[in-house]
Amino acid sequence: MVKAGIYGIGSYVGERVVTNAEFEKTIDTTDEWIRTRTGIEERRFAPDDVDTSDMAYEAAKEALEHANISASDIDLILVATVTPDMDFPNVSSLIQERLGAKQAAAMDISAACAGFIYGLATGQQFIQTGSYKHVLVIGVEKLSKVTDFSNRNTAVLFGDGAGAAVLGPVAEDRGILAFELGADGAGAMHIHKRDDYLEMNGREVFKFAVRQMGESSLSVLAKAGLTKEDVDFLVPHQANIRIMEASRERLELPVEKMLKTVHKYGNTSSASIPMAMVDELKNGKIKDGDLLVLVGFGAGLVWGSVALRWGR
């Protein structure tokens, strides 16, 4: 079957920088407490008049430009989000219209922080079977609109942002080498939305994430016929630096081989993995032929990982 890989990626970062010091004024917390327990120093919020589809659109435009692909070449748009503009229509249809990708099918995916991984795995299937040639996958969240800023347990964690990737056929030794998706509905209520706001059992989510992120990373490498020694970069969901470090240590990777943006963007859910990739591509860190392990977890509870050889 045809191999599927990433042609280009793009991102949107919320315009308002919100430091930990701002939360010290409104809730019982400190900059030191937030940094030591989460690794977050600041996060970004989008303006009130910028909604989820607006952020997704900006990331999509940048991804198309990076891929040197026209919107008219996109066959399918997949948007991973749990914070859509409205219950319906789906965000992907709004993006289709704004991009002018009139020939593209459009579908949203609800897999929380693992949404981008689910999107990559879904888009890959269409390309591998020859059904579609180019798929646009977007992870986007405006978490500031579902965050209770009076709750010290969750108020400091989240940010707004979007990341997009254009998928297409690639050479046999490039692209998505393997993926793993999973779920454990028994933990569904550990992260949920109630009365307009997100609620989380932080202790249970932490235990789940530390275990599952490492296991999924090793599992996807085994599926690809690779070992942890083959990994050039780990790209974990940017939820909490302690969870991320546990995943890195499970793969026995040096610190410089883990992409980290949680300190400046916070947890942007489905957008965090592509946003981290965009930053390091712009910095020249990720190069053609590099092996990346992308791994995420989220509400559901769900998880997913992808072994990806960068390049076309």
CATH code of the domain covering residue 130: 3.40.47.10
Three-point CA angle 261, 177, 164, nearest 5° = 40
> Do residue 163 and residue 88 come from a single domain?
yes
Q: Which residues contact 278 (CB under 8 A, 6 or more apart)?
A: 9, 10, 11, 62, 163
DSSP string, 259-277: ---HHHH-B-GGGHHHHHH
> Do residue 111 and residue 180 come from a single domain?
no
Which token pair is 219? Answer: 């599992």
> Do residue 164 and residue 209 come from a single domain?
no
Catalytic site includes residue 113: yes
> Do residue 240 and residue 304 come from a single domain?
yes
Q: For the whole model, what pTM was predicted?
A: 0.96
Q: Which of 66, 134, 237, 240 is catalytic?
A: 237
Which token pair is 290? Answer: 């590099």
Q: Which of 20, 90, 240, 267 is catalytic?
A: 267
> Do residue 142 and residue 287 come from a single domain?
no
Give the residue from 311, 305, 254, 257 showing the smallest Cα distance to 287: 311
Which token pair is 1? Answer: 């079957």
Among residues 170, 195, 211, the one where a domain terminates is: 170
Q: What pLDDT was estimated at residue 10?
A: 98
Catalytic site includes residue 153: no
Q: How many separate domains does the chain show?
A: 2
Give the residue from 90, 85, 80, 163 showing the smallest Cα distance to 123: 80
Structural domain containing residue 87? 3-170
> Do residue 82 and residue 194 come from a single domain?
no
> Do residue 17 and residue 37 come from a single domain?
yes
Please tell me the distance from the alpha carbon of residue 236 to that of residue 273, in angstroms, as a whole number: 6
> Do residue 135 and residue 217 come from a single domain?
no
- Classify burial at 212, counting beta carbons within 10 Å of its beta carbon; exposed 0-12, middle 13-18, buried 19 or more: buried
Among residues 170, 197, 228, the one where a domain terminates is: 170
> Do residue 37 and residue 138 come from a single domain?
yes
Catalytic site includes residue 237: yes
Please tell me the distance from the alpha carbon of residue 300 to that of residue 113, in angstroms, as a whole number: 10
Q: Which of 20, 113, 190, 240 is catalytic?
A: 113
> Do residue 158 and residue 179 come from a single domain?
no
Please tell me the distance from the alpha carbon of residue 3 to that of residue 6, in angstroms, as a whole number: 10
Among residues 153, 170, 187, the one where a domain terminates is: 170
pLDDT in tens, the chain (312 residues): 899 999 999 999 999 999 999 999 999 999 999 999 999 999 999 999 999 999 999 999 999 999 999 999 999 999 999 999 999 999 999 999 999 999 999 999 999 999 999 999 999 999 999 999 999 999 999 999 999 999 988 999 999 999 999 999 999 999 999 999 999 999 999 999 988 999 999 899 999 999 999 999 999 999 999 999 999 999 999 999 999 999 999 999 999 999 999 999 999 999 999 999 999 999 999 999 999 999 999 999 999 999 999 999
Q: End-to-end CA distance of the chain, in Å?
A: 16
> Do residue 87 and residue 68 come from a single domain?
yes
Q: Are 305 and 294 contacting, i.e. CB atoms less than 8 angstroms apart?
A: yes
Tell me how far the alpha carbon of residue 209 is from its chain's centroid: 15
> Do residue 160 and residue 28 come from a single domain?
yes
